[in-house]
Amino acid sequence: MPVDFLTEAERERWQRLPDTMPQDDLFVFFLLSDDDRRETQRQRDPQNRLGYALQLCILRYLGFVPDARLSHKNFTRLSNASNLLGQSAKSSSAS
């Protein structure tokens, strides 16, 4: 017999990125290694490289990639924190 130990609100909260993250978590999970950068550069377009890198970092942080869309606030914060691809982060967030 399954037992629900999380409320619906708790389950919802655990299935998405938090609104705020400790600075240490950003350094640990959202900085790209040289290998990460090489793999990211294999993607064709700048927006694909950025999306690939964000998915990689989110996967490391949460252990899965959530179905929900990334909020503009989280997109900006994470793309800046992960020192990604310089100009492509700015151009992708503007579109």
Mind listing the pLDDT tens digit for each residue in 47-93?
A: 888 889 888 988 998 888 787 777 787 777 777 766 654 444 444 44
In a domain, 69, yes or no: yes
In a domain, 56, yes or no: yes
In a domain, 2, yes or no: no
pLDDT computed for residue 92 by the predictor:
45
In a domain, 3, yes or no: no
In a domain, 36, yes or no: yes
Q: What is the pTM of this model?
A: 0.67
In a domain, 33, yes or no: yes
Domain range holding 55?
21-94
Q: Give me the amino acid identity at 39.
A: E
The Cα 10–Cα 8 span in angstroms is 6
Our count of domains for the chain comes to 1
Three-class HEC string of 50-83:
HHHHHHHHHHHHHCCCCCCCCCHHHHHHHHHHCC
Number of helices followed by number of strands (H, E) in the chain: 6, 0
Q: What is the DSSP letter of 33?
A: P
